[in-house]
């Protein structure tokens, strides 16, 4: 009787073989597992960045309430902002960091963040009938800074003692883990941290004089044009 060759014997035993089943099962779940891991890493890194930015904002805002950081000279504020950048950039050298300071007289005004009133172009057929202040439309300049303010606030350059500063830092950076390549979405992660603090009571708080009427610039439809047109 002729004995089957080793190869034929192995082939005959193949239908009942279970070795390697685990490897096959892993091949099925590996992509999903990798995706979950990348997602977890991405979420963890974003939370870490959020925490760092929030901490930097709190420290900077506290320094920004001192008298030395008020007034039209922005040099002290630039120094504070640089400290914030120095904390964030080592975590991502490509990060784009935007910092804004806006001030309100009261906390309730800051909470409302109400736009200054304006009269939109009335003609429904006009592209400037757009809910934006443009096309030379008149607005009530409640804070008398000569500009239409969509958030009802003013530049920190004009803030003084006891005024309330909203300090906002927005950080955008290329996503650390390429989650977007698998499930879509933006290749950029954006983290924002904001706080509001009242300036130190180193003097009396200023007041606004009676509101005046200003006119927005012409601009383009769909976009606020807050500054008056420059005079030639
Ligand atoms: Ca308009
Ligand atoms: Ca204004």
CA of 214 from ligand 2 middle (Å) equals 8
Model pLDDT, residue 97 = 96
Model pLDDT, residue 1 = 58
Model pLDDT, residue 177 = 83
Model pLDDT, residue 95 = 94
Model pLDDT, residue 88 = 94
Model pLDDT, residue 180 = 82
Closest listed residue to residue 101, CA positions, set 164, 192, 51, 162: 164
**Per-domain residue ranges for the chain?**
22-215
CA of 43 from ligand 2 middle (Å) equals 39
Q: Which residues does the chain have with pLDDT short of 50?
A: 231-232
* Contacts of residue 5, Cβ cutoff 8 Å, sequence gap at least 6: none
Model pLDDT, residue 184 = 84
Model pLDDT, residue 232 = 41
Instruction: Note the ligand closest to the C-alpha atom of 123.
Output: 1
Closest listed residue to residue 215, CA positions, set 227, 207, 223: 227
CA of 149 from ligand 1 middle (Å) equals 14
Instruction: Note the ligand closest to the C-alpha atom of 134.
Output: 1
CA of 117 from ligand 2 middle (Å) equals 10
Model pLDDT, residue 226 = 93
Model pLDDT, residue 231 = 46
Residue 96 — φ and ψ, nearest 5°? -100, 125
Instruction: Note the ligand closest to the C-alpha atom of 140.
Output: 2
CA of 164 from ligand 2 middle (Å) equals 16
As a whole number of angstroms, the distance between CA 28 and CA 93 comes to: 37
């Amino acid at each position: 009787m002729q004995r089957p060759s080793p190869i034929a014997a192995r082939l005959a035993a193949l239908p009942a073989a279970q070795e390697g089943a685990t490897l096959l099962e892993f091949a099925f779940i590996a992509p999903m597992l990798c995706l979950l891991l990348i997602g977890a890493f991405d979420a963890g890194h974003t939370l870490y960045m959020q925490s760092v930015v929030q901490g930097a904002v709190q420290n900077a805002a506290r320094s920004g309430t001192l008298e030395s950081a008020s007034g039209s000279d922005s040099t002290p504020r630039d120094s504070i902002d640089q400290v914030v950048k120095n904390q964030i950039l080592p975590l991502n050298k490509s990060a784009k960091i935007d910092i804004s300071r806006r001030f309100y007289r009261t906390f309730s005004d800051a909470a409302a963040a109400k736009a200054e009133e304006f009269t939109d172009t009335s003609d429904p057929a006009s592209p400037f009938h757009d809910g934006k202040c443009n096309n030379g439309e008149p607005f009530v300049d409640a804070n008398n800074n000569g500009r239409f303010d969509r958030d009802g606030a003013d530049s920190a350059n004009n803030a003084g003692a006891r005024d309330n500063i909203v300090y906002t830092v927005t950080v955008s950076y290329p996503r650390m883990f390429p989650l977007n390549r698998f499930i879509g979405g933006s290749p950029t992660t954006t983290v924002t941290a904001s706080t509001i603090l009242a300036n130190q009571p180193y003097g009396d708080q200023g007041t606004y004089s009676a509101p005046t009427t200003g006119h927005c610039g012409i601009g383009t439809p769909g976009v606020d044009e807050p500054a008056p047109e420059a005079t030639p």
